[in-house]
C-alpha cells in the first residue's frame, strides 16, 4: 500500500512537472555557472580606479596588478583570495590610498536566479569595509536596485543585509525572517536594513567556525537571504557539487526576507551583477550611515591611538592592520528555477561561453540572464516579464493537476 502510494506520488509529480513545461520547476534550481578553483577570476571585470562610489581611501587595482601583487589569487586550498595590500609602506600625505580590489561579474542574474556563496574568511579589522553585493547597472543607481548580501565595517560582530531602491519599495511587516529589521524603507540611505541575529556571521568568530554559506533568492514572490555558519549549512548545499540541483524549500526561514507584498521585485530590480570589494575608511557624505571612517561609527567598535581611521590604519606598513583584510571564498554558484525562461546561449564564441561549467545535458542550453559582454546584453524588461508569465502558466497547470491526481488516487484505492 505504502509503495503504491509512493508510486502514485511520483506519477503525480511527473504529471505535474510535465504539465508545467519542465521537470525542474518544482522549487528546484539548476546550476548555470560556477566561479571556483583556478578559473574563479575568469569572468569578472576589475574596477581599475580609485573608490569613486563610496570614497574609501583605496585604489582598486586592475587585473594585472591584482594578480602580480597577489591581491587576487587562488590559494593552495583552491579558494579565491581577495585582499587589501598589507605589504606597502604608506607615508602621511594630504591624500592617501591603499591598494585593494573590486571585481564585478560579467554575467547578470535576475528574477528566477539563486546565488550561493561559500566563504571561509571575511575581511575584518578597524577601517575595513568589505561587501559582497549585487547591482543592477542598466540605469543610474539606485534605479535598477542593489542587494547587499554580506556587508560590515570595522569590528562589528554581525553581518548586515539590505536592499537599495528608489522610492516605493518597502520591507513588508512580519516578513518571516530570523534577522532584526533596522530600517524598512529601501530608499533610505542605509536601505531596508536587516541585522543578522545568528551567531558567527562576521569577523574572527565567523572564520573560527569554519566560515559559512549565504544564499540569495531573487524571485517574483520576493527577495530572500539565508545565512548558515559552517556547522549549520544544509546537507543539500554542503554535499552539492557544481552540477547538483538545489531545493530552497528545505532551508527554513531566511535571515532577511523582502516579500513582493512590500516591494514589486520585477519593478525595482533589473538583472544584477555580482560585486566583491574591500574599501577602507570612507568619510564622504557624513550624513550617510554605515561608513567605516565616520568618527562616531569608527569609535563605536575601534579604539586606536588617535581615533583617526586613515592615520591609525592606512598610513604605515599595512601590517598587522590589514592581515585579516582578506576574503577567502570556496565558490560562488548561480542557479535558475526557470530554464525555459533563460535566454539561449550567446551566438558568438566568447571566452565566457567556453568557460561555462560542464553541466548535465539537460541544462547546457541555459545561460543565466545574459552576459553583459561581448554582445549578449538582455533588455532589462525582457527577462523578468518572461519569467513572470512562465511562472503564472506553471502555477495554473499545477492547480489543475492536483484534482487530476486526486481523481486518479480515488480510482486506484
Binding residues (CB under 6 A) for ligand NAG: these are 34, 36-37, 39, 47-49, 52, 55, 57, 83, 86-87, 95-96, 241-242, 264, 266-267, 283-284, 310, 319, 323, 326, 357-358
Nearest to 132 by CA among 69, 67, 211, 248: 211
Measured between alpha carbons, how far apart are the two ends of the chain, in Å? Answer: 9
All three cell numbers of 153, joined, read 565595517
Taking the complex as a whole, the smallest distance from the CB of residue 382 to ligand NAG amounts, in Å, to 12
Given the complex with ligand NAG, which of 149 and 325 has the nearer CB atom? 325
**Whole-angstrom distance, CA of residue 386 vs CA of residue 107:** 18
Taking the complex as a whole, the smallest distance from the CB of residue 142 to ligand NAG amounts, in Å, to 15
Given the complex with ligand NAG, which of 16 and 291 has the nearer CB atom? 291
Nearest to 319 by CA among 57, 87, 70: 87
Given the complex with ligand NAG, which of 32 and 225 has the nearer CB atom? 32
Under DSSP, is residue 51 helix (H, G, I), strand (E, B) or coil?
A: coil
All three cell numbers of 336, joined, read 535558475
The CB density around residue 394, as the number of other CB atoms within 10 Å, is: 20
Under DSSP, is residue 167 helix (H, G, I), strand (E, B) or coil?
A: coil
- Ranges assigned E (strand) in 1-154: 28-36, 44-46, 49-50, 58-60, 72-74, 80-83, 98-100, 102-109, 113-121, 128-135, 146-151
Given the complex with ligand NAG, which of 122 and 195 has the nearer CB atom? 122
163-201 burial, b at 16+ Cβ within 10 Å, e below that, comes to bbbbeebbbeeebebbbebbbbbbbbebbbbbbbebebb
Taking the complex as a whole, the smallest distance from the CB of residue 85 to ligand NAG amounts, in Å, to 9
Given the complex with ligand NAG, which of 124 and 214 has the nearer CB atom? 124
Residues contacting residue 6 through CB under 8 Å, at least 6 positions apart: none
Given the complex with ligand NAG, which of 116 and 193 has the nearer CB atom? 116
Given the complex with ligand NAG, which of 14 and 285 has the nearer CB atom? 285
Peptide linkage before 320 cis (omega within 30 of 0): yes
Amino acid at each position: 500500500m505504502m509503495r503504491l502510494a509512493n508510486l502514485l506520488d511520483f506519477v503525480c509529480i511527473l504529471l505535474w512537472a510535465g504539465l508545467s513545461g519542465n521537470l525542474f520547476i518544482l522549487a528546484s534550481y539548476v546550476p548555470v555557472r560556477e566561479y571556483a578553483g583556478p578559473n574563479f577570476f575568469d569572468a569578472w571585470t576589475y574596477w581599475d580606479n580609485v573608490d569613486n562610489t563610496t570614497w574609501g581611501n583605496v585604489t582598486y587595482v586592475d587585473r594585472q596588478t591584482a594578480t602580480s601583487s597577489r591581491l587576487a589569487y587562488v590559494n593552495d586550498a583552491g579558494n579565491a583570495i581577495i585582499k587589501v595590500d598589507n605589504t606597502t609602506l604608506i607615508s602621511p600625505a594630504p591624500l592617501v590610498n591603499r591598494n585593494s580590489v573590486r571585481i564585478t561579474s560579467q554575467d547578470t542574474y535576475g528574477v528566477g536566479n539563486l546565488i550561493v556563496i561559500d566563504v571561509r574568511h571575511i575581511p575584518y579589522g578597524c577601517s575595513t569595509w568589505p561587501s559582497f553585493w549585487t547591482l543592477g547597472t542598466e540605469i543610474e543607481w539606485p534605479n535598477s536596485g542593489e542587494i547587499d548580501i554580506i556587508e560590515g565595517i570595522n569590528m562589528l560582530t554581525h553581518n548586515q543585509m539590505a536592499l537599495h531602491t528608489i522610492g516605493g519599495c518597502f520591507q513588508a511587516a512580519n516578513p518571516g525572517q530570523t534577522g532584526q529589521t533596522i530600517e524598512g524603507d529601501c530608499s533610505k540611505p542605509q536601505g531596508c536594513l536587516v541585522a543578522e541575529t545568528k551567531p558567527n556571521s562576521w569577523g574572527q568568530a565567523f572564520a573560527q567556525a569554519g566560515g559559512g554559506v549565504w544564499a540569495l533568492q531573487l524571485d517574483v514572490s520576493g527577495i530572500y537571504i539565508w545565512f548558515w555558519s559552517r556547522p549549520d549549512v544544509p546537507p543539500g548545499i554542503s554535499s552539492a557539487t557544481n552540477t547538483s540541483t538545489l531545493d530552497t524549500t528545505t532551508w527554513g526561514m531566511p535571515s532577511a526576507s523582502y516579500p513582493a507584498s512590500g516591494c514589486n521585485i520585477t519593478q525595482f530590480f533589473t538583472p544584477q551583477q555580482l560585486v566583491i570589494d574591500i574599501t577602507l575608511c570612507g568619510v564622504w557624505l557624513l550624513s550617510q550611515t554605515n561608513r567605516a571612517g565616520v568618527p562616531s561609527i569608527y569609535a563605536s567598535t575601534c579604539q586606536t591611538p588617535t581615533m583617526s581611521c586613515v592615520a591609525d590604519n592606512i598610513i604605515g606598513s599595512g601590517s598587522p592592520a590589514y592581515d585579516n583584510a582578506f576574503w577567502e571564498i570556496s565558490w560562488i554558484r548561480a542557479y535558475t528555477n526557470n530554464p525555459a525562461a533563460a535566454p539561449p546561449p550567446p551566438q558568438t564564441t566568447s571566452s565566457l561561453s567556453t568557460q561555462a561549467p560542464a553541466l548535465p545535458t539537460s541544462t547546457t542550453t541555459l545561460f543565466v540572464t545574459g552576459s553583459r559582454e561581448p554582445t549578449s546584453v538582455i533588455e532589462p524588461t525582457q527577462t523578468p516579464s518572461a519569467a513572470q508569465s512562465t511562472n503564472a502558466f506553471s502555477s495554473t497547470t499545477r492547480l489543475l493537476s492536483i484534482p487530476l491526481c486526486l481523481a486518479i488516487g480515488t480510482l486506484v484505492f
